[in-house]
Chains A and B, each alone.
Chain A
Amino acid sequence: MADPITNPATPDAIFGKAAVTEALADHVAILGLKDLITDAKWDRKELTLTIAPENIRAAAQAAKDAGYNFFEDVTAVDWYPAEPRFQVAYSILSMGLKQRIRINVRVSGDDPRIDSITSVWPSANFYEREVFDLFGIHFPGHPRLTRIMMPDNWNGHPLRKDYPVEGYR
């Protein structure tokens, strides 16, 4: 398989599921997650796959089966006031292939929730707690979803864009 990162024939930026799956047809992650991808992006030599929120656990398992064995982190981006408001970004690494993929999921702003992937990668535990703490996104299936950075009685979720930098006045 030609590595898309070192292959000079790979274009600089490709957007859209159809274009990416065609240009990177033999990419391991594309093959492994083919049925779950709703959108894809190849930009700055990074592959980003968008998945529907209900499929995240299946996608994590599929990525793992495809050889992406190491979960790096999960974080979120708040695109307030756009809807779906939150972008949950998973960064997953394959130590064998020496490649990294990003799995993005868009989650709605009212009652944001997405399945926990701690059953696939236990290392997601602290990261999901952090996203819950700072963004208020719930992870059903997490062993104990409690605040990790802020005190337990804290009001609000600091990394949301409608949370002011200097606190409420």
Chain B
Amino acid sequence: MSNSTLEDPRQTAYNAPEADSAPITDTTGATLAGFRNAEDLIIPGVEDVVEESTSHHHPHGSDPVDSQTMVLNMGPQHPSTHGVLRLVLEVDGETVISLAPDIGYLHTGIEKTAEAKFYSQVTPLTDRIDYICPMTNNTAYALAVEKLLGLEIPERSQYLRVLLNELTRIQSHLVWLGTHAMDIGALTVFLYCFREREDLLRIFEAISGQRMMSSYIRIGGVALEPPADIYDRIRKFLNAFPKHIEEYEGLLNANPIWMGRLKGVGVLSGEEAIALGVTGPPLRASGIDWDVRRDMPYSGYDKFKFNVPTSKDGDVWARYIVRMQEMRESVSICHQALDLLANLRDTRLNADAPKIVLPDREQMKTQMESLIHHFKIVTEGFQVPAGEATSSVEAPHGMMNYYVVSDGTAKPYRVHMRNADFANLQALETMCKGRLIADVVAVIGSIDIVLGAIDR
């Protein structure tokens, strides 16, 4: 693999020029020659693929079938594109020559909508971006606004966020594993995964009142006190879950079809992964040891001990192994969070900011002051000091950043989300080039994209 010559890929800037290859230029003549596989890193548009295929057609009179390529449309309504992703492929027989993703079918203008809402009203919008991991979206948004406000979040809320983020990670990975395995043809795994996911969704429902669009993590803390028995329920789930992971692995690890379809497919080197902006499990499976939770800790992650699974292979199989290990690490983080929370019972839950955090329901009904605060927050929102802030969290799909700009009013001037899925999709061509169409399906499954997060 090409990155084996690099000492530590995180330290190098990847601009060692390659002597014998002609410089690859873009339309203005700027050069990409610093990259080893420069032509793989120019991500084509749909028009590029179509144009290139016509240039491969032979002139009139030559063999009509031989050495011609075909343009194939895959999606947007295709079961294995995990949503409304359209791919335009140029194929020679069954071999993919080039490929371009066409996105935007699920574009709902969330960034524009957010500019017309109060800060607290944006939280439910963030649920709907990456709809597989709403709690993570909420956390990223809350962290950015809290940074602007300069709010201190009590420890109990922080650890509760960690706990829910990790449960969300398990839940997201279960959806990934189930659908990925279903794409490859292993239907049973899907049913097993959704059985455990149902337990998690019931836990989320008990905590927040919603199975999926939970909006539980709010600016200044969390929405409400979790129910009394919930920690025992989570503990029970966590104790049973490692057995279930073994169950999935029992179905897959020695399965010859699963191995044949995954091993050596969709290889991405660490160098290419960084150049194409890939983050999350695909980055770690390509040998780059980077995890926001450990390297730039947020929400009290520095108090937790966990391993960051990596692999050097960079293929679909490596991504599978990395995610399975991540689920085990998440279980361990959840146990630690429960231990920490057990020592913090009856301490403060939300930040001490009555003008920002909605009062407790009972207080609101019984105390005049709380009622006024509640009324003010709901009708006028709260003003946020002018400035800009970026938060960064490790979402199940990779690095998720929220960039919030405030002009000092009660509505955000600009909210921008960087979702890992959007950048990870850019690497699709590099991973699929020269492989079979069937491998495209395996690769899409392995980068674990959610179109809601891509199109926003």
Chain A residues with CB under 8 Å of chain B are 43-44, 46, 48, 57, 64-65, 67, 69-73, 75, 77-78, 89, 91, 95-96, 98, 100, 102, 116, 118-119, 121-123, 125-127, 134, 140-144, 146-151, 158-159, 163, 165
Contact = CB atoms under 8 A, between A and B. Distances in A.
Contacts of B44: 143-144
A91 B418 contact: yes
B30 A91 contact: no
B201 interface: no
A119 B38 CA distance: 10
Contacts of B113: 165
Given A69-B11, A100-B392, A126-B43, 10 more contacts: A69-B14, A70-B274, A73-B418, A102-B388, A116-B26, A118-B26, A123-B276, A126-B423, A141-B30, A163-B112
Contact of A144 (B35, B45, B389, B423): B45
Interface string B3-31: 00000101111110000000000111011
B280 to A, nearest CB: 13
A141 B27 contact: yes
Interface in B288-336: 288, 290, 295-296
B425 A122 contact: no
6 nearest A-B residue pairs (beta carbon): A123-B277, A119-B30, A122-B41, A95-B10, A73-B418, A141-B28
A44 B10 contact: no
A118 B26 CA distance: 9
A162 B48 CA distance: 33
Nearest to A133: B104
A96 B414 CA distance: 30
B401 interface: yes
24 contacts: A44-B387, A44-B389, A67-B13, A72-B277, A73-B423, A77-B414, A91-B403, A95-B295, A100-B390, A100-B392, A118-B30, A123-B276, A125-B42, A126-B423, A127-B423, A143-B27, A143-B42, A144-B44, A144-B47, A147-B104, A148-B104, A165-B112, A165-B113, A165-B115
Contacts of B112: 158-159, 163, 165
Interface in B392-442: 392, 399, 401, 403, 405, 413-414, 416, 418, 422-423, 425-426
A141 B26 contact: yes
Contacts of A75: 403, 414, 416
B186 interface: no
Nearest to B149: A44
A143 B104 contact: no
Given A100-B390, A144-B47, A146-B47, A119 B403 contact: no
A71 B399 CA distance: 12
Contacts of B455: 149
A98 B388 CA distance: 20
Interface of B: 8, 10-15, 26-28, 30-32, 35, 41-45, 47-48, 103-104, 107, 109, 111-113, 115-116, 147-148, 150, 274-277, 288, 290, 295-296, 387-390, 392, 399, 401, 403, 405, 413-414, 416, 418, 422-423, 425-426, 455-456
A119 B26 contact: yes
Nearest to B102: A148
Nearest to B32: A119
Contacts of B150: 44
B390 A91 contact: yes
Contacts of B42: 118, 122, 125, 143
Contacts of A73: 401, 403, 416, 418, 423
B151 to A, nearest CB: 12
Contacts of B456: 149
Contacts of A98: 295-296
B10 A96 contact: yes
A126 B102 CA distance: 11
Nearest to B401: A72
Contact of B399 (A72, A96, A125): A72
A121 B12 contact: no
A69 B26 CA distance: 21
A72 B41 CA distance: 16
B276 A122 contact: yes
Contacts of B399: 72
Contacts of B35: 122
Contact of A71 (B115, B277, B390): B277
Contacts of B28: 116, 140-141
Nearest to A78: B414
Given A72-B418, A122-B35, A123-B423, A65 B13 contact: yes
A162 to B, nearest CB: 12
Nearest to B387: A43
A142 B8 CA distance: 30
A148 B112 CA distance: 16
Contact of B389 (A46, A67, A141): A46
B403 to A, nearest CB: 6
A95 B273 CA distance: 13
Contacts of A69: 10-14, 274
